[in-house]
A and B are shown apart, each in its own frame.
Chain A
Amino acid sequence: MIDRIPSGTRDVLPDEMRELRAITERLRAQFERAGYGEVYTPALEYEGTLARGDVAGAMPAYRVFDEQGQVLALRSDMTIPIARLVATRYAGAEPPLRFCYFAHAYRRVRPQRGQARELLQAGVELVGAPAPEGTAEALTVLCAALDDVGLKTYSVGLGDSSLFPALLERVGVPPEQRGRLVEELVAGDFVGVEREVAALGIDAESAELLLRVPQIRGGPEVLEDVPEPLDAAVQGMRSVHQLLPSDAAARVIFDLGLVRSLGYYTGAVFQVYDPALGVPIGSGGRYDDLLAKFGRPLPAVGFALSVERLHIALTGEEGR
């Protein structure tokens, strides 16, 4: 008989481990150099703490009872535990606060999909630094770390989570009619988006806006002809871009259709792409309202890289 391990988990043997370690050591050195001290939090937290994020995308998937019958859950990311950590251990500390982490997160998986139930994340959280400066700092640290690891052909997609809601508001779609449209957009079903927009019964010009805007992506030139209702969000993206050092700025793809399923994002959102891999390597964004839920209202921004995907992309780049 062969003892199996749960699907979506895996053993790591020495050859792979050495390569993973080499990656995380370089990332750690870069994060530390930028002033981000490493923290670790328990993999298990009270369910109530993790649910404070109050969003479907970050809900924990695995729960156990402790000896007193309380419900504990495995964290599904590090952002919420670090929000808790800031509010409790740094309650009186002067912001900004900078932390980095190398830790496993636990997610539900769909059967037969090769998805990771346990994934190793490397990331940073910058607490108390508002946009655009804080966002620019996080992106700068991200690019410096990826450069140092030796990833060559990556790009960073930069969007704004407030952009599409602002657009819906502007063309007068009431909140109760937005659900299905946003769902189709998150699913990447543009045929469905078209159908839902048609069902709204709005004027042709507004409908055209709702269809066109999420498809706008590319270099700084794509921001030139963005319609006026989006001025604020676009100005925000521009100012982040202007604050970046030139090598990081050159990595940015503006992406007005970037919608993240995690509900706690409030402003800038970003994703890391590499042509060597069909899925994003990492992602991040601003979560200016999350800390307040833990009693320490501070703006914040962070990102998480999947160390395993980064490893695959690095290996893939070698072959090109």
Chain B
Amino acid sequence: MNGLRIAVPRGALFGDTLELLDRLGVDTREVRENDRKLLFEEAGIVTMRPSDVPTYVEAGAADLGITGKDVLMEQSERECYELVDLRYGYCRMVLASEAGEDRGAEALRRLGVVRIATKYPRIAARHFLETGRQAEIVEVKGSVELAPLTGLAEAIVDLTATGTTLVENGLVVREEIAECSARLIANPVAHKLKARAIDAVLERVRGA
């Protein structure tokens, strides 16, 4: 990778990211064959959860990284450069609640505040702040869809690609908060000190 180290997200963006790296001429065979290993020094690849990518890049432990805009929005205080929209991994950050009468709207009207379950507490809090409504944000780590079904919250803020999970749980989208896709990010110091290598990658990404 031109002497650069790139943080690659495992999970939903993994396949498209490896394909992109292939097109850039990076040898990803070992990464594909070995799903236990995390650090591939020769290829300049380190794999991790998408939400850890900004952490490694901000600290300079990786020069470049690929992660979703949702992660970058949630961790907006990270000091990383967001270089380019990679145009894959499209999904939407939405506010959803059970089909039928909107219990979130009802809670807002009658109780003055709506309980929102989410894995993205800061995005959710910002959305309600910016739209002038009061919300109590309940952070959960997984299966957000469960929250409105069990009465933990009236609505959820979550990422959806196809909407299948929402439908399966009887939830409907009430508002769209943002469109998200994969982004290439860089450590600010590496962006200065390894300018040529990073610009070469950028050029190939734009052409690929």
Contacts and interface: CB of A to CB of B under 8 A. Distances in A.
Contact of A278 (B82, B84, B85, B189): B189
Q: Enumerate the 5 nearest inter-chain pairs by beta-carbon distance, A residue then B residue, closest first.
A: A278-B60, A188-B81, A189-B82, A278-B59, A273-B189
Contacts of A89: none
Interface of B: 58-61, 77, 79-85, 183, 187-193, 195-196, 199
Given A113-B77, A277-B60, A278-B59, A190 B84 contact: yes
B134 to A, nearest CB: 22
Report the contact-size class of chain A (Cβ under 8 Å from the partner): 20 to 34
A273 B60 CA distance: 12
A191 B195 contact: no
A218 B188 contact: no
Nearest to A155: B193
A288 interface: no
A278 B61 contact: yes
A189 B81 CA distance: 6
Given A157-B192, A278-B189, 20 more contacts: A110-B77, A155-B192, A188-B80, A188-B188, A190-B83, A191-B84, A191-B183, A217-B192, A218-B196, A253-B193, A271-B192, A273-B189, A273-B192, A275-B193, A277-B189, A278-B61, A278-B187, A278-B188, A279-B188, A279-B189
Contacts, number: 55
A219 to B, nearest CB: 9
A271 B189 CA distance: 10
Interface in A244-294: 253, 255, 271, 273-275, 277-280
Interface of A: 110, 113, 155, 157, 188-192, 215, 217-218, 253, 255, 271, 273-275, 277-280
A5 to B, nearest CB: 23
- Residue with the greatest number of chain B CB neighbours at <10 A, chosen from A110, A113, A279: A279
B25 to A, nearest CB: 22
A6 to B, nearest CB: 19
13 contacts: A157-B192, A189-B81, A189-B82, A191-B85, A192-B82, A218-B195, A278-B59, A278-B60, A278-B188, A278-B189, A279-B188, A279-B189, A280-B188
